[in-house]
Amino acid sequence: MCRIPPLLLKWIGIVTIGAIFSCAILFRLIFLDHIPGLNGDEAWYGIQALNLMYGRPLEWMAPSGRPLLNFFFFIPIFILQLFCEPAFWILRFPSVIASIIAIFLSYRLFLDILGRPAAISLALLTATLPINIAYSRFGWDPSLLIVYAVLIIYFSFRGSLKGVLISTLLGLTAHPVIIFLGPVVVMTALTQNGSALLPSHPLQKKIGAVLILTCIIAVAVYAAGIEATTHRLSTPQDAWLFLSLIGGLFSGETVYRYIVDPATTLAILDPASIGAILAVLSAIAFWRISSKTSQIGALAFLSGIFFALLCGYLMFGPWLLLPHTERYGIYLVFPLTLLFVIILHGAFTAERQHWPVAIVMALSLSLLAGFHRHYLQPIRETGGNSQIAFRTGVLDPKQVAYLGILDETRGRPVRIFAHQWWIWQPLKYLASKDPTVEVIELREFSRPIKGDYVVTFAGEPLDIVARKDPSTYATRWSVLDYARREVIAVYRL
């Protein structure tokens, strides 16, 4: 039997890994301006950047109710807008950059901690997990959680109090759920000697860890309410559903159902089988750990992830990992990925570390193929069958509607009444540099007049009512998605 020379195998591996990273980055960039369709929250940051550029008042409170503090989003958008016309890709560019930085940091920072093979596996999974790719294509605050999670976990491993505090404060500008990584930080520090994260005295260290864990859990309980927390703790079915949804979060099923098609299902192993496989690998990995100190450290890290999951569950219940609300669970993605890599590589001897890398390479290729099959391809064929704001065509339907109105008015002043936040904000963003266009949110008390435009989602109640009485408008035209279905209805009064 002919054996492949080791040097050739090495180069095949290098080329394959390079191809995986290249494909993962490509999937973050292609069709960025219109897949998926832009939603109102994404446009909000662009509007604020243009308001600052033109000396207009800023809205200091984001749609989520948080202050305008996410400078990693705001500053790059502002700089790009200095040189570019309003474009939807600009609003998503910071998320893409953050995601690529997270891939690089997951390798570079954990290289000395895990060793090269495990660091490669960690970077590969960070690059190819569908939820990481999908959220890098959103101009949303939660899209930045991945890079902050990488930094927080790294600095906790290094015992750097300053690093953990700065990373956490930055993470809070993206979303408050980042504090639920606190248990991972605390439990990791509990087993470290010389860590600046907890007092050095053994008793003080234990008391400090208990107090911090108690405070973080108390935050989750307070936010959810005692009644909801009690219900979740006393309902095993909800707890099992919560745990079973973790697989969908990582396989991509959750995000595919949210963005592309609610009917998406993936043929993966059932949660019990996955749990059994991970339990066996964990037992082997734990058995191979030579020192008792390292075993305690591994158990502490596992306990930290358990408490991080518990906090999320207490606050949100199964909703944390369900389609539409899974963005609140993104803080869990990196620590769980890291745990999987540690378990997988720990189950193999030092001489056989190429095997877990090969397994992760095959898994990464499968994840990328799945992203193309269940995300990019169906959206380009159907335009999407999920949230109407995400439905799209060759260009984003909101952009097509705006350009169509400009083409009809030919530079004349025009008022556009946009129905719903998801249309109003994108149109307002596109018109932010054009003084001849005024975009107004259509409300109950709005009074459009002859010559004004009204833009709404096709098939919504407003569109249905308006079509029944043609005397109320001069013309109606629509914007179609990839499947030639109406998405946006445009009325000229």
- Closest Cα partner for 11 from 23, 21, 1, 19? 19
- The first and second tokens of residue 84, run together, are 């570019």
- Closest Cα partner for 213 from 229, 190, 233, 195? 190
Supply the pLDDT for residue 488: 96
From CA 27, how far away is CA 5, in angstroms rounded? Answer: 33
In the numeric block, the tokens 């509990």 are attached to: 190
Residues sharing a CB contact under 8 Å with residue 156, sequence separation 6 or more, in sequence order = 164, 184, 185, 188, 189, 197
Burial class (CB in 10 A: 0-12, 13-18, 19+), 132: buried
From CA 54, how far away is CA 446, in angstroms rounded? Answer: 27
SS3 readout for the chain: CCCCCHHHHHHHHHHHHHHHHHHHHHHHHCCCCCCCCCCHHHHHHHHHHHHHHCCCCCCCECCCCCECCCHHHHHHHHHHHHHCCCCHHHHHHHHHHHHHHHHHHHHHCCHHHHCHHHHHHHHHHHHHCHHHHHHHCCCCHHHHHHHHHHHHHHHHHHCCHHHHHHHHHHHHHHCHHHHHHHHHHHHHHHCCCCCCCCCCCHHHHHHHHHHHHHHHHHHHHHHHCHHHHHHHHCCHHHHHHHHHHHHHHHHCHHHHHHHCCCCCCCCCCCHHHHHHHHHHHHHHHHHHCCCHHHHHHHHHHHHHHHHHHHHHHHHHHHHHHCCCCHHHHHHHHHHHHHHHHHHHHHCCCHHHCHHHHHHHHHHHHHHHHHHHHHHHHHHHHHCCCCCHHHCCCCCCHHHHHHHHHHHHHCCCCEEEEECCHHHHHHHHHHCCCCCCEEEEECCCCCCCCCCCEEEEECCCHHHHHHHCCHHHCCEEEEEECCCCCEEEEEEEC
From CA 408, how far away is CA 445, in angstroms rounded? Answer: 27
Amino acid found at 475: T
Residues sharing a CB contact under 8 Å with residue 49, sequence separation 6 or more, in sequence order = 74, 77, 78, 81
From CA 189, how far away is CA 205, in angstroms rounded? Answer: 9
Contact between 229 and 314 (Cβ < 8 Å)? yes
Give the predicted TM-score (pTM) of the model. 0.93
Supply the pLDDT for residue 292: 63
Supply the pLDDT for residue 126: 97
Longest Cα pair distance anywhere in the chain, in angstroms? 82
Per-residue pLDDT tens digits of the chain, which is 493 residues long: 567 777 777 788 889 999 999 999 999 999 999 999 999 889 998 998 899 888 888 887 776 666 767 788 888 999 999 999 999 999 999 999 999 999 999 999 999 999 999 999 999 999 999 999 999 999 988 999 999 999 999 999 998 999 999 999 999 988 899 999 999 999 998 888 777 888 887 888 888 888 999 999 999 999 989 999 999 998 889 999 998 899 889 999 999 999 999 988 886 656 666 677 777 777 777 777 766 666 777 788 889 999 999 999 999 999 999 998 999 999 999 999 999 999 888 888 888 888 899 999 999 999 999 999 999 999 999 999 998 999 999 999 999 999 999 999 998 999 999 998 999 999 999 999 999 999 999 987 788 888 999 999 999 999 898 888 888 888 999 999 999 999 999 999 9
Q: Domain residue spans in the chain?
A: 23-382, 393-492
Supply the pLDDT for residue 63: 66
